[in-house]
Amino acid sequence: MSRLNLSHLRKMKTEQTKIAVLTAYDASFAHVLEQAGVDVILVGDSLGMVIQGQESTLPVTVDDMIYHTQNVVRGTESVFVIADMPFMSYANSEQAIKNAARLMAEGGAHMVKLEGGAVVADTVKQLTDRGIPVCAHLGLLPQSVHRLGGYKVQGRDQDTADQLVNDALILQEAGADMVVLECVPASLAKRITSEVDMAVIGIGAGSDVDGQVLVLYDMLGLTPGKRPRFTHDFLADTGAIPAAIANYVHAVKSLEFPRQEHHF
């Protein structure tokens, strides 16, 4: 069985076939996700909170990410695997190249994801020039949560919306092949999706994007505390984890999720 690759993901965007993405951090869950039809697994630094019990993603290390990425890759045969680059692991280009190379060579990732707009464009170019595929991340940036003053919707006013569009175009020019848009108004996400050629994956970004991603534990209703507004408890609908994940995939691909109540 061959792995999904970037060419296939680009074709899915062109053909307007929705891309179903979920996070996973271990081999067993990764296998279940693959069997349920998930296209892409994101080994997210969200593991800091849902696996390690941290208050944020900030304490997660490159070694943590390599370990969990290895587990996910071992548990799968066909999905495309993206690994987050954790906080301050790409503060400069030299550091970014070293750590991204480790995530791919040691961890087995097929792409790395990093947060930030135009400020990280040179880093993105340095990585992609060396054959390292990059997924950008715009909107709400969990690694910058303290600077942003909490988990807030981004891009509500015209100036910041225009800046996010500009950031997306700059990152694409630098070589990014994909971008995650988190917690932005649905209208802005639709605008960005129409203006870039790279695949746009939304989380709290409406339905007019190329695909959706959720934290696995959120969509299973397992995350302690208040669940984010843009998520849905698919496990409550089915009572079985494999069925819940399959329902998520179906809902994404059939445009049944996200619904209006999940939009900003």
The residue type of 146 is H
Average pLDDT over residues 46-65: 95
| pLDDT, position 147 | 59
Q: What is the DSSP letter of 86?
A: P
3-state class percentages of the chain: helix first, strand second, coil last, to nearest 5: 45, 15, 40
Average pLDDT over residues 155-182: 97
Transcribe 181-227 into DSSP letters: EES--HHHHHHHHHH-SSEEEEESS-SSSSEEEE-HHHHTT-SSSPP
| pLDDT, position 145 | 66
Q: Which pair of structure tokens corresponds to residue 68?
A: 């969990």
What average pLDDT does the chain have?
A: 95
Question: Which structural domains are found in the chain, ordered by start?
Answer: 6-262 (3.20.20.60)
Phi, psi of 180 (to 5 degrees): -95, 130
Q: Tens digits of per-residue pLDDT, 131-162?
A: 999 999 999 998 876 555 556 889 999 999 99
Average pLDDT over residues 183-202: 98
Strands (E), 25-133: 40-43, 80-84, 111-115
Is 256 designated active site? Answer: no
Q: In this structure, how many other beta carbons lie within 10 angstroms of the beta carbon of residue 261?
A: 8
Q: How far apart are CA 252 and CA 42, in angstroms?
A: 16
Q: How far apart are CA 232 and CA 153, in angstroms?
A: 18
Per DSSP, the three-state class of 116 is: coil
Residue 56's contacts (CB-CB under 8 Å, 6 or more residues apart) are 48, 49, 142, 145
Which listed residue (55, 94, 182, 195) is catalytic? 182
C-beta separation of 203 from 230 below 8 A: yes
Q: Which pair of structure tokens corresponds to residue 222?
A: 């397992």
